[in-house]
Structure 1
Amino acid sequence: MDFVPMADVNQQERQMRCEPHPFTGAIYQELEDGMVRVEDKQAGKAGLFKWDGEYVEGDLTQADPHMLRYIGGPVMDESKDIFWNVLPPTPELANAMFKENLARGGADKDKQQRPKIIAPYKADPGVKTEEGMRSSAYIPQQFFIENERKPDLLPEVYKKEAPYPGGPKQVHVDRFTTKKFHDLEVEHLWKKSWQMACREDDIPEVGDHVLYKIAHLEYIVTRSAEDEIKAFVNACPHRGRRICEHNGKRAEGFRCPFHGWSFGIDGKLHDLTCEWDFPKVRQEVGGLTELKTARWGGFVFINPDDDAISFEEYAGPDMLAHYEKLRLEDRFKMVHVAKVVKTNWKLMMEAFLEAYHSVATHPQLLLSGGDLAETRYDVFGNWSRLGHASAPGSSVQRGIVVPKERTLETFRMVADMMGQYLRGLIGDEVDEYSDHELVEQSFNNLFPNFHPWGGMARIVYRFRPNGDRHDECIADIMLLAPWPKDKPKPPAAPMKMLDPDQHWVDAEEMGTLARILDQDSANVTQVYQGLRTKNPPRVIYSAYQESIIRAWHDKYEKLLGLEEGE
């Protein structure tokens, strides 16, 4: 069943976007042809801008580039501009939601009736705690733990704290802008680390296989038996010809197109053409070069290093415990979208390892919520957790600090709303979860580049270099919808690859997340260009809000054999 279109509303008939700025109150009004009118009534000024930030005319000559993009930039169908956490997992549920929205006047009608939060910028002085300086909106994690309504259901790992020690850190821009570091990463990172290759659901039948590519390296990941998955180097042991050029379905084996050597789906050598001319080679070769593999949460991981520790040891007990009840393996991959972004992969990834950027990059979010200055950051070995145990609402950088008692009301309200929504998807399974697990929106990281969000947040990121290009990356975005554990899942969504010049909103199945990603991508491409000119050539990371990035670079330096900040 196809998704119902938005009642034949065309580009001209749809309601033009209009929002105030959360700090200045200036009105950003969408016009035709990608133009935006900005009016600051308090200052008595107005200006006309292109959505990409270029000033056109008027006595107001500067505007927020991210607000311009949000109001006048690439548009998506209003019926699909839905918060990703409550996106219906299937077209049937999408159509039901669409009809319900029409019956009550449309989803946007409710949005427009909500009061907008507008207040001038006010510096956050911070507050001293036992762990160090924190935002003035900081609420101790213990407060939420003590007020958990279902304490017997709360996993112990949710009560742990692990702030990363140390102060601000600086690293050289060459780490992002030169191929030298890309080459070092191939040898010391991509050939040595556990990395997510695919979902098990991507290869559901025996013989199904995908090509996992990282830099110039290629591996075949295949279901070699009903409950067995193997991974092999994608090169014939004879002369190195690529065995597979594409993903495949139900293969009975693999055959080299060059000289016809063939292998079983278990990687073992079958036919060695003209074997009389290769004495003892069968015994020496044996088959395709096999890699270590692991399966966790419905994901398949590979590690090219024969001496690598197990995935479980690599991930660590805290990560495994955090996701244990969430049963990612039972979730349905409803969306998978990827795109080449013109920036170094580490810069793209770093944008999702802190919430510090939200106040400037996503101004529309502040109109109905906080600035995320109270976000919590923890580092547990190779796994990091950020955004844990909180109910955003304070906007301390606008002088709005919500009392913790009112924050608790919001925390519980969100838990109840999410519980009610999830009951329609997974039934009484929802009763297994504590308030913390229902509210959880942590955006986490397993070194080096795997980012499964916590709770019911659905999002999974993966960032990697685009082939041997150190100045381009592939951003992979998945949405994993909660699904009843005793109900067969629909087929996993195949990866949709956007063209480099497309916008994320062209993938409307991502909901509002697509508009967020367009703002983030606009930043990181400009960061890459700025770093090529930056003088002094150093990047600075803060003590707490960017502590997970500091921890990441400390691991990176150790693996690559670098000096501090090199």
Structure 2
Amino acid sequence: MDTEVTTLTAEQIAARSPGTSYQELLDKEVNPVPDCLRDNTNPYLGSENISVDRYLSREFHQLEVEHVWKRTWQAVCRETEVCEPGDTFVYDIVNMSVIVTRTEQGELKAFRNACLHRGRQLVDKNGNYKDLRCPYHAFTWSLDGGFKGAPCKWDFQHINEEEISLPEVKVGTWGGWVFINMDRDAQPLSDYLGILPSHFERWKPENAYKMIHVEKVIPCNWKVGWEAFIESYHAVATHPQILPYTADADSQYDVWGDHISRTITALGVPSHHLKALTDQDVVDNMLGVSAMVAGQNGARVPEGMTAREYIAHLNSQEFSGNHDRELASFATNSERMDSILYSIFPNFAPWAGFHPNITYRFRPNGNDHTTALMEIIVLCQLPSNGERPKDTPVRRLGENELFSEAPELGESLGTIFDQDLVNMPMVQKGMENVESGELILANYHEVRIRHFHQTIDKYINGEL
């Protein structure tokens, strides 16, 4: 990112949409606004172009394998998916595989997924296991990684059984998620997450269960897919159907440290790109679009109430049962309806708020830098005394299966992902034809992309 750019004035750096800002919408809230939503970092991280080689080059992919995937904290599964002794989850990232398991003592452990005899992968699929037994020659380890034995032990007198415990991988938890890090010298997860735990303390994602989990192989570098979900700038061209109720141009972008960033896009208000929409127009376009919005088509906005207030009211009626209190008594309109999307570097993006929340995850499809695995997970919160449904297993969509054809997502929400899916392979193909070899980024709307690439560079350059 060495391209020479024009020096900007302070006024140019501070340029924002002339529409109503998210902070101005918060000024109209009746309930107290939490400090985490008032946090407005106003980031400017430069105006340099970035090279297409970061997406196209096999060499750059290998740098990411060595310096990013082997050294960062990555979300694996929900704690509830490994809650009983013997519950085991397999996480694959590029050419590496990790086992996460729950020991008989109730402790979470993570290990490299390889037999120390001949290297065969120990565990092929998620399940509940009494021990970790290699299917090839039956070398066996306990759930806490200690060696238990093998057939014909007399033929292995040259090994010290006390020295062949399974190599451990660092494991941590936050918000009901299990994270792993293959770097034994990595900072604790709590330090890595920075401000995130304090921001999410109010929304309690640890109380949620996984109600939807869909994944699909997409024909592009994983970063192409990831970047489509950390900016709202593309909505005007890619998702025109959501503009009547989405303040895309007035989204707020924030970054903290190297690992955390956020987009907040207000809903229940029309895009600044559109003119002369009524509150009823907003509601008519918004109702029925996803599990995150309550109410039925045909609902009328009560006199004296804005569309945003009405949607928040409907969501309070619909989702208060998922919490310990009536939402309207304390939660802001924003928390009941807006897209409050955080990201944890490198590839995990959880929504926040008091409604069912989407979480996105992107990673390379195996060790292929030209395709990626895209995951859409929806969490539904539960009251503290509520019975927890079983987490739904992941469902892999076929090569020609659209997101809108997944009944879990529904046609309206699935169509939004299908629209993104149309762009992704065309971005991958188009970058091959960018004559300059460089891509241009907006200073504000795409600041999270710039922040993301700057953090990649810090890992590659040994600064993190």
Q: TM-score band, normalised by the shorter chain?
A: 0.7 to 0.9
| Counterpart contact for 2:228–2:420, Cα < 8 Å | yes
> Which whole-Å deviations, capped at 9, do the CAs of 1:348-407 have from their partners, x for residues lacking one?
0000010000000011123x334510011000121111015x45524333456999xxxx
Confirm whether residue 396 of structure 1 aligns to residue 275 of structure 2: no
Partner SS, residue 387 of structure 1: strand
Q: For the residues of structure 2 that align with 1:130 and 1:488, how far apart are their CA atoms?
A: 53
Confirm whether residue 195 of structure 1 aligns to residue 74 of structure 2: yes
Q: For the residues of structure 2 that align with 1:433 and 1:326, how far apart are their CA atoms?
A: 10
CA RMSD of aligned residues (A): 2.5
Partner SS, residue 312 of structure 1: helix
Tell me how far 1:427 sits from its aligned partner: 5.7
Q: Hey, what does 2:163 align to over in structure 1?
A: 284
Partner SS, residue 133 of structure 1: coil
Confirm whether residue 179 of structure 1 aligns to residue 58 of structure 2: yes
The alpha-carbon distance between structure 1 residues 189 and 304, as it changes in their structure 2 partners (threshold 3 A), is same
* Pairing of 1:526-537 with structure 2 (within 5 A): 526-537=426-437
* Pairing of 1:35-434 with structure 2 (within 5 A): 132-139=14-21, 141=23, 143-151=24-32, 154-225=33-104, 227-249=106-128, 251-276=129-154, 277-285=156-164, 287-316=165-194, 318-366=195-243, 368-370=244-246, 372-381=248-257, 382-387=259-264, 390-391=266-267, 393-399=269-275, 409-426=306-323, 428=325, 430=327, 431-434=329-332
Tell me how far 1:504 sits from its aligned partner: 1.1
> Which whole-Å deviations, capped at 9, do the CAs of 1:196-248 have from their partners, x for residues lacking one?
01111222322111210001110111122464221110011222111111222
| Counterpart contact for 1:444–1:452, Cα < 8 Å | yes
Q: Number of residue pairs matched?
A: 426
Q: For the residues of structure 1 that align with 2:356 and 2:276, how far apart are their CA atoms?
A: 26
The alpha-carbon distance between structure 1 residues 472 and 263, as it changes in their structure 2 partners (threshold 3 A), is same
Q: For the residues of structure 1 that align with 2:163 and 2:400, how far apart are their CA atoms?
A: 48
Confirm whether residue 448 of structure 1 aligns to residue 448 of structure 2: no
TM-score (norm 2): 0.86
Confirm whether residue 558 of structure 1 aligns to residue 458 of structure 2: yes
Tell me how far 1:446 sits from its aligned partner: 0.7
The alpha-carbon distance between structure 1 residues 129 and 413, as it changes in their structure 2 partners (threshold 3 A), is farther
Q: Counterpart amino acid of 1:311? A: L
| Counterpart contact for 2:222–2:371, Cα < 8 Å | yes
Partner SS, residue 68 of structure 2: helix
| Counterpart contact for 1:343–1:472, Cα < 8 Å | yes
| Counterpart contact for 2:93–2:366, Cα < 8 Å | yes
The alpha-carbon distance between structure 1 residues 349 and 305, as it changes in their structure 2 partners (threshold 3 A), is same
* Pairing of 1:18-29 with structure 2 (within 5 A): none
Tell me how far 1:327 sits from its aligned partner: 1.1
Tell me how far 1:457 sits from its aligned partner: 4.8
Q: Counterpart amino acid of 1:288? A: L
Partner SS, residue 354 of structure 1: coil
Q: For the residues of structure 1 that align with 2:182 and 2:237, how far apart are their CA atoms?
A: 40
The alpha-carbon distance between structure 1 residues 255 and 296, as it changes in their structure 2 partners (threshold 3 A), is same
> Which whole-Å deviations, capped at 9, do the CAs of 1:264-306 have from their partners, x for residues lacking one?
1111111144444333521322x11111111111111000000
| Counterpart contact for 2:132–2:141, Cα < 8 Å | yes
| Counterpart contact for 1:338–1:475, Cα < 8 Å | yes
Tell me how far 1:411 sits from its aligned partner: 4.0
Q: For the residues of structure 2 that align with 1:328 and 1:226, how far apart are their CA atoms?
A: 25
Q: Hey, what does 2:5 align to over in structure 1?
A: none
| Counterpart contact for 1:463–1:476, Cα < 8 Å | yes
Q: Hey, what does 1:506 align to over in structure 2?
A: 405
Q: Hey, what does 1:464 align to over in structure 2?
A: 363
Q: Hey, what does 1:487 align to over in structure 2?
A: 386
Q: Counterpart amino acid of 2:90? A: L
The alpha-carbon distance between structure 1 residues 402 and 190, as it changes in their structure 2 partners (threshold 3 A), is farther
Q: For the residues of structure 2 that align with 1:359 and 1:226, how far apart are their CA atoms?
A: 53
Q: For the residues of structure 1 that align with 2:326 and 2:95, how far apart are their CA atoms?
A: 44
Q: For the residues of structure 1 that align with 2:180 and 2:51, how far apart are their CA atoms?
A: 30
Q: For the residues of structure 1 that align with 2:104 and 2:26, how far apart are their CA atoms?
A: 45
Tell me how far 1:525 sits from its aligned partner: 1.1
Tell me how far 1:410 sits from its aligned partner: 4.2
Task: Give the gaps of 5 or more residues in structure 1.
Answer: 1-127
| Counterpart contact for 1:341–1:472, Cα < 8 Å | yes
The alpha-carbon distance between structure 1 residues 400 and 448, as it changes in their structure 2 partners (threshold 3 A), is farther
Partner SS, residue 245 of structure 2: coil
The alpha-carbon distance between structure 1 residues 488 and 225, as it changes in their structure 2 partners (threshold 3 A), is farther
Q: For the pair shown, which has the larger CA radius of gyration, 1 or 2?
A: 1
